[in-house]
């Protein structure tokens, strides 16, 4: 349901599906995720194949999509609007909302450098969550990472700040200090987090072009009535990320609160050996979305068909109503009383009673099983009447 809903909505936005291999050469991920990242150092399933090549089960989707775009010469056909879905693999301790084999849906909009792309992909994510019925449980957080010039300025500020506090940093953060200081901001170490709390904010290092870009993104989201909060601590540590970063979060799933996350990655394709190519995208965890849908969804209540006469008519009517999009329960045995008892037991919303007198008039009786009221409805307008019981 989640994948099909996402697929249908992304098609309305002009996205087409791309299917990438479940495993790639390990270099695809070490070059894109960063050799010091937790995913690369702790979580990837990596092994040597019969040719002694290093192969990795894909831990995420963007790198494989970027590799496919370059390998197949698709940078000659920009812009590209791509949707993907399927299993991902990470070696971590299984818990609620976090599995070693999990599934993601995701989109990548490649080849558009303007804020319009950022607005569209965030709006697309919000639209899918709305169609899944979980939008009310989710908050949107956004931030700007600035352009290359702004990030370089911020990197220097962070090196100065953390460099004066080396004694309190974890060994992992010390290793990242010179190589990738922004990743320290994501540290889960309690000592690191205390230092990070007072770290300079990236917003102070933004140049005017970066501020203008972010202002246009925020204005565009507001124009679409997409509520958001600016989270200055929302960052992406890798150098190819820039400008907009965003997350859709919830407090309904405990510790695993991020259900959809993404950002702009204008340097990724070039880093992988392709031409300079802007891009932005997001990925969402299917299992986490499923847990939210399960919490939100009302129990499915069918419409029961109860024939007093003419079992064949009941079967044909059930077939017709199911093709009209209604959920129909058709009992296979028992008198009318027993079938009504079963309809109540399974929580049916309404019952269609096929009596001899009604059928002779080209009609049926429809009983509202919540209120107990009953109406005679002509067979040729039955679907329209039953819409109220969907």
147 versus 37: the higher-pLDDT residue is: 147
Whole-number pLDDT of residue 387? 84
Read off the pLDDT band of 205 (50, 70, 90).
very high
pLDDT averaged over the chain?
90
- Mind listing the pLDDT tens digit for each residue in 364-381? 999 999 999 999 999 999
Read off the pLDDT band of 389 (50, 70, 90).
confident
Percent of the chain with pLDDT over 70: 94
Q: CA 372, CA 386: separation in Å to the nearest integer?
A: 15
- Mind listing the pLDDT tens digit for each residue in 300-337? 789 999 888 767 788 889 999 998 888 898 876 778 78
Whole-number pLDDT of residue 231? 92
- Mind listing the pLDDT tens digit for each residue in 112-139? 999 999 999 999 999 999 999 899 899 9
Read off the pLDDT band of 36 (50, 70, 90).
low
Whole-number pLDDT of residue 69? 96
User: Domains of the chain (ranges plus CATH)?
Assistant: 2-147+207-296 (3.30.930.10), 303-389 (3.40.50.800)
Q: Read off the tokens for 283.
A: 């990925």
In angstroms, how far apart are the furthest CA atoms of the chain?
A: 90
Give yes or no for residue 224 having a pLDDT over 70.
yes
- Mind listing the pLDDT tens digit for each residue in 332-363? 677 878 888 888 888 899 999 998 888 889 99
> 372: which strand partners?
none
Q: How far from chain centre, in Å, is Cα 342?
A: 38
Q: Is the CA virtual torsion 287, 292, 294, 299 positive or negative?
A: negative
Q: What is the 3-state secondary structure (H, E, C) of the chain?
A: CHHHHHHHHHHHCCCEECCCCCEEECHHHHHHHCCCCHHHHHHCCEEECCCCCEEEECCCCHHHHHHHHHHCCHHHHCCEEEEEEEEEECCCCCECCECCEEEEEEEEEECCCCHHHHHHHHHHHHHHHHHCCCHHHCEEEEEECCCHHHHHHHHHHHHHHHHCCHHHCCHHHHHHHHHCHHHHHHCCCHHHHHHHCCCCCHHHHCCHHHHHHHHHHHHHHHHCCCCCEECCCCCCCCCCCEEEEEEEECCCCCCCCEEEEEEECCCHHHHCCCCCCCEEEEEEEHHHHHHHHHHHCCCCCCEEEEECCCHHHHHHHHHHHHHCCCCEEECCCCCHHHHHHHHHHCCCCEEEEECHHHHHCCEEEEEECCCCCEEEEEHHHHHHHHHHHC
Give yes or no for residue 37 having a pLDDT over 70.
no
Whole-number pLDDT of residue 94? 64
pTM of the model: 0.76
> 363: which strand partners?
378
């Amino acid at each position: 349901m989640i994948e099909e809903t996402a697929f249908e909505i992304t098609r309305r936005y002009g996205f087409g599906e791309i299917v990438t291999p479940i495993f790639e050469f390990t270099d695809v991920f070490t070059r894109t995720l960063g050799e010091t990242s937790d995913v690369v150092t702790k979580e990837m399933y990596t092994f040597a194949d019969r040719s002694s090549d290093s192969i990795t089960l894909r831990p995420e989707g963007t790198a494989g999509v970027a590799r496919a775009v370059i390998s197949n010469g698709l940078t000659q056909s920009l812009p590209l609007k791509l949707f993907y879905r399927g299993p991902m693999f990470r070696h971590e301790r299984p818990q609620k909302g976090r599995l070693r084999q999990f599934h993601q849906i995701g989109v990548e909009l490649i080849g558009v450098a303007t804020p319009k792309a950022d607005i569209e992909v965030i709006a697309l994510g919000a639209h899918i969550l709305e169609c899944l019925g979980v939008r009310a449980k989710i908050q949107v957080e956004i931030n700007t990472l600035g352009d290359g010039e702004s990030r370089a300025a911020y990197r220097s500020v962070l090196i100065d700040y953390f460099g004066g506090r080396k004694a309190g940093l974890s060994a992992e953060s010390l290793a990242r200090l010179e190589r990738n200081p922004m990743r320290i901001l994501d540290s889960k170490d309690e000592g690191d987090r205390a230092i990070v709390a007072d770290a300079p904010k990236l917003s102070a290092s933004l140049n005017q072009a970066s501020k203008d870009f972010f202002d246009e993104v925020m204005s565009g989201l507001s124009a679409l009535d997409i509520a958001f909060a600016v989270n200055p601590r929302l960052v992406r540590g890798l150098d190819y990320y820039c400008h907009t970063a965003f997350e859709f979060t919830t407090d309904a799933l405990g510790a695993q609160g991020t259900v959809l996350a993404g950002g702009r990655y204008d340097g990724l394709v070039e880093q992988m050996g392709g031409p300079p190519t802007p891009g932005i995208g997001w990925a969402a965890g299917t299992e986490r979305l499923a847990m939210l849908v399960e919490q939100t969804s009302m129990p499915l209540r069918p419409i029961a068909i109860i024939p007093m006469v003419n079992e064949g008519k009941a079967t044909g009517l059930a077939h017709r109503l199911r093709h009209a999009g209604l959920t129909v329960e058709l009992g296979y045995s028992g008198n009318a009383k027993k079938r009504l008892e079963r309809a109540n037991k399974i929580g049916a919303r309404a019952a269609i009673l096929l009596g001899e007198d009604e059928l002779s008039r080209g009609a049926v009786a429809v009983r509202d099983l919540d209120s107990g009221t009953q109406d005679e409805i002509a067979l040729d307008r039955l679907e329209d009447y039953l819409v109220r019981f969907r």
